[in-house]
Amino acid sequence: MQYLPVCLQLRNSPVVLVGGGTVATRKARLLLRAGASLNVVAPEIAPELEQLLAEHGGHWQRATYRKTDLDGRVLVIAATPHREINEQVHDDAIALNLPVNVVDSPDLCTFIFPSIVDRDPVIIAISSSGRSPVLARQLRSKIEAMVPGSYGRLAEFAGRLRHRVKEALPAETARRLFWEKAMEGTVAEQVMGGREDRAEALLEDMLKDVEALHCGEVYLIGAGPGDPDLLTFKAVRLLQAADVVLYDRLVSGPILDMARKDAERIYVGKKRDDHAVPQVQINQLLVDLAKQRKRVARLKGGDPFIFGRGGEEIELLARHDVPFQVVPGITAASGAACYSGIPLTHRDHAQSVRFVTGHLKDGSSNLDWPSFQSESETLVFYMGLVGLPLICEQLQLHGRSAATPIALIERATTDDQRVITGTLATMVDIVKREQPKAPTLIMVGGVVELHGELAWFGGTN
């Protein structure tokens, strides 16, 4: 994050704008709407800017810029067509420790103007960190279509009754749960429909029965293989509603960042022979947190029910009568296949696919190797990096050709994805040379030959 988004209170604050053209007029319009006491410094100004200043009580200083124009100001904006003047304004502002924005010059800015969706008092700011203002404006248009103008009325309603709710619900968690329910239900609909008296009566009824809001719940959420864009809408919604987030090492940072900023985060990750929290304790922790009336998101890489031990976790929840929801996720095999250009099935190569755990307990060969010999079936081994030599050996011992194509996909669907290909005979040596790191996925079968033809993600052969 290159910039920290903040909202400035500028009402009656002295702000200087250097420049008087079309661009300066756009900035002046925003500053005056925010209530700034605006002083424009320019030899000439556009008629619209002059009218804006007259309407809002701003001041035009008909002059060329001087350093003393910054005296007593809290914010500085330069919007002239002259680079040397803009640079001078920047240097002078920096010397005085004043925030400065030079329009269309990110290198001369200590703050930038975002693209704004105004549903006063709700303000939504979108920024591309100065890289692409057009993209920011396009995003603003999409958000404006999604956010009704009546959201401002809803925010005013909540602000007016905030003190009343705080008196009735002094505990922060209970209060947040109350407002979340109010803002998503009938109360909000009544307010946005202009029936605030009815909405206030409904809110008072809710305050009389707050115990109904205090039920704990567990959300077992499939986080997918890594790319945050692969999360379902439901997964994002429940993740952002959770009070506590339990996550493992397969959950990527960008996905974890989607949780509420004030949510408690508990790492319960596992890697080979190193369990941060044993599975039995994870199961019990979910129960305990829900019994404390918390909403708990259990983030699991991939899909909870495909080698994710999700069944064990909800089994204990069910025994203790803890409400839960299971949200499917894109399993690693599907994500890795799509992002590496290796279809799991293909009419010319494979008519079926089998998912197998490659994490062999105690290093033993306890898989049904004789059943893995069909040339028309794709084999996908989860957690098979350490067991790769055994996988290649056993498949060949039980009849698979040494020339059978095999792929190892490292960190599938992320920017760090790497695809390593070979055959059952050569793959062990290739992996020793390439030194991939977990998480990885192994695919075996004729479909691997399509990687070079269909790959688009930029993996490495």
Residues labelled catalytic? 248, 270
Q: DSSP label at 377?
A: E
Q: List all residues 6 or more positions away from 313 whose beta carbon is below 8 Å from its beta carbon.
A: 218, 220, 282, 283, 286, 298, 304
Which contiguous run of DSSP H or E holds residue 320? none
Give the bridge partners for 222, in sequence order. Answer: 300
383 is in an annotated binding site: yes
Q: Are strands 14-18 and 75-78 parallel, antiparallel or unpaired?
A: parallel
Euclidean distance between CA atoms 156 and 219, whole angstroms: 32
23 is in an annotated binding site: yes
445 is in an annotated binding site: no
Q: DSSP label at 186?
A: H
> Phi, psi at residue 218, to the nearest 5°?
-120, 135
Q: List all residues 6 or more positions away from 90 whose beta carbon is below 8 Å from its beta carbon.
A: 78, 100, 102, 105, 108
Distances, alpha carbon 297 to alpha carbons 67, 190, 346, in Å: 55, 31, 37
SS3 27: helix
SS3 231: coil
306 is in an annotated binding site: yes
158 is in an annotated binding site: no
412 is in an annotated binding site: yes
Cα of 289 vs its chain's centroid, Å: 24
- The string over 328-362, giving b where at least 16 C-beta atoms fall within 10 Å of a residue's C-beta and e elsewhere, is bbbbbbbbbbbbbbbbbebeebbeebbbbebebee
Long-range contacts of 390-394 (CB under 8 A, 24+ apart): 390/360, 390/363, 390/365, 391/358, 391/442, 391/444, 392/424, 392/425, 392/427, 392/428, 394/365, 394/367, 394/369
458 is in an annotated binding site: no
303 is in an annotated binding site: yes
> Phi, psi at residue 111, to the nearest 5°?
-145, 160
Is the Cα dihedral 229, 235, 240, 245 positive or negative? Answer: negative
Annotated binding site: 22-23, 43-44, 225, 301-303, 306, 331-332, 383, 412
Annotated binding site for S-adenosyl-L-methionine: 225, 301-303, 306, 331-332, 383, 412
